[in-house]
Structure 1
Amino acid sequence: MKLYLDPGHGGTDPGAQGNGLNEKNINLDIARRIRDILEREYRDAYVRMSRTDDSSISLSGRTNEANSWGADYFLSIHCNSFNGAAQGYEDYIHSSLPDSSETADYQHTMHVEITKVNQLRNRGKKKANFHVLRETAMPALLTENGFIDNAEDADLMKDPSWRQTVARGHVNGLAKVFNLKKKEGTSTLYKVVAGSFQSKENAENRVNHLQSNGIDSYVAKITISGKQWYRVQAGAFSDRKNAEEQLAKVKESGVHDAYIIREDR
């Protein structure tokens, strides 16, 4: 599988801005993480990026290179902005494509895998006449990973572990679309997270709640963007199905913001 990976904007074009963030930097970080996961963990996954640093690349330069290389898939990474109130995740294929097209099938798979893990409101699958979707000779998808001018979405964007999780969601979709095979010697751990708090007392209260419902958990101290957080972990599993069963139990106890993070070792 030859993936042309396009971190939107760059250089003199910062993209959307808000809450102290520039879109170009978030896009690049997520894209690098996608590349690194694919190259580290999967066989026969070849990645070329439109930019690997903060450089200016024209839209035609991006699509021309992808077409010349003969990429199997064009994936463009973006963040959104609107009025500060809008939030969530959405993705786009070209407006001329029917829902029965191969590109739409790929979009559906990618959308499902990304929204499983990204903790963002699901704004749905969409179509548009964007250059990178119109001028590419291969199936193409543009993902909008939250609204940078929304404080809640921006707080997630500032968290490196969230950006890693978003990258993982994209990779999970690519692995399904192209039936990618894992390299030998990699192992995966699925952790059920039942909340992250800046207050240790709040984290301990969450643990007490879970334990009163028969769910073992503990508080792990982590640092995100220079700030100390207390993460409540309610299990770690090598089998994702087991993690999903535990997640369902946690949510049944009333903890609706629980989610699974994947760590590869």
Structure 2
Amino acid sequence: MKFYVDPGHGGADPGAQGNGMQEKDMTLDIAQRIRHLLTNDYNDVYVRMSRTDDSSKSLSERTNEANAWGADYYLSIHCNSYNGAAQGYEDYIHSSLSDSSTTAHYQGIMHNEITKVNQLSNRGQKKANFHVLRETMMPALLTENGFIDNDHDADLMKDASWRQTVAQGHVNGLAKAFNLERKASAGTLYKVIAGSFQSKENAENRTAHLRSKGIESFVAAVTISGKRWYRIQAGAFFVRDNAKARLEEVKKAGVEDAFITAE
């Protein structure tokens, strides 16, 4: 399976700007994380990126390269901006496509997996006549991962663990859409859960407390027995001893209700 991952903008084109950040930096960071997860965790997956550094590349160069390579799927990563008031996540396929198209089917899967974890308001699945959606010969999706000029979304973007989670959401969608086979070496994933709350505010307070102790964490919404819970994840490891070490750090930070899950 060949995925062409396109971090939007780059070089002389910074993209959207706000809160001391530039879109081109956020998209490159998330795209690199997507590539790492795909190539390390799944069999028979090949990833080519439109850029791997802060370089300029035209839209035509990107789509021509993906078409010439024979990519199976084109994934373009972006962030949004709009006067500081708008916020949330949305994604796009080309406006000419029907809701019953294969590309729309993939969009639905990707959208569901990304919005499960990204902590952004859901602005929906959309269509547009963007170049990278129109000129690609394979199914293509463009994701807009929050508004960089909105305080809420920007606070998330600044957190490396959030960008990792967003990358994982994209990869989860690709794995489900294309039935990717996980490598045996990936093994069991041990997650450190540092509490679970029905109040999102309480969960965010817990992550703030952990951050003050030097422990990165993020909030993930899950549904258990029909109820919405906000679970704090403070790390994920393929080596159980590493997970146990992180669990001890979390408990020393005063979080006694922390535990490890295995997937």
TM-score (norm 2): 0.80
Q: Between the two proteins, what is the percent identity of the paired residues?
A: 65
Q: Secondary structure at the match of 2:52?
A: coil
Would you say the 8 A contact 2:8–2:27 is kept in 1? yes
Structure 2: distance between partners of 1:27 and 1:244: 29
Instruction: Tell me which of 208, 224, 242 is aligned to 1:245.
Output: 224
Residues 219 and 232 of structure 2 are in contact (CA less than 8 Å); yes or no, is this contact kept in structure 1?
A: no
Q: Contact 1:31/1:77 (CA < 8 Å) preserved in 2?
A: yes
CA contact (8 A) 1:165 1:262 kept: no
User: What does residue range 139-178 of structure 1 map to in structure 2 within 5 Å?
Assistant: 139-178=139-178
| Secondary structure of residue in 1 paired with 2:185 | coil
User: What secondary structure is seen at the aligned counterpart in 2 of 1:173?
Assistant: helix
Give the structure 1 partner of residue 189 of structure 2.
188
Q: CA–CA distance in 1 between the matches of 2:49 and 2:157?
A: 21
Q: Residue 138 of structure 1 aligns with which residue? A: 138
Q: CA deviation at 1:222?
A: 3.9
Task: Return the letter of the residue paired with 1:101.
Answer: S
Is the Cα contact below 8 Å between 2:92 and 2:142 reproduced in 1? yes
Deviation of the 1:261 alpha carbon = 7.5
Describe the shift of the 1:81–1:196 C-alpha distance in structure 2 as closer, same or farther (beyond 3 A). same
- 2:205 is matched with 197
CA offset digits 1:98-150 (Å, max 9, x no partner): 00000000000000000000000000000000000000000000000000000
Aligned counterparts of 1:171 and 1:199: Cα–Cα separation in 2: 24
**Paired residues of 2:207 and 2:217 also in contact (CA < 8 A):** no
Structure 2: runs of 5+ lacking an equivalent: 197-202, 239-263
Q: Is the 8 A contact 2:11 2:56 kept in 1?
A: yes
Map 1:210-225 onto structure 2 (within 5 A).
221-222=210-211
2:254 aligned partner: none
Structure 2 partner of 1:24: 24
RMSD: 2.6
Output the TM-score relative to the length of structure 1.
0.79
Q: Which residue of 1 aligns with 2:251?
A: none
Cα 1:189/1:197, change in 2 over 3 Å: same
> For each residue in 1:201-235, what CA deviation from the matched residue of structure 2 results, as whole angstroms up to 9, or x when unmatched?
xx5xxxxxxxxxxxxxxxxx346xxx84686999x
1:39 alignment partner in structure 2: 39
Give the number of aligned pairs.
Answer: 229
Deviation by residue 1:24-75 (Cα, 9 ceiling, x = unmatched): 0000000000000001100011000000000000000000000000000000
**In structure 2, how many angstroms separate the alpha carbons of the residues matched to 1:22 and 1:232?**
22
In 1, the alpha carbon distance for the partners of 2:107 and 2:237 equals: 25
Amino acid at match of 2:91: D
Distance in 2 (alpha carbons) for counterparts of 1:178 and 1:47: 14
1:5 aligns with 2:16: no
SS state at 1:149 partner: coil
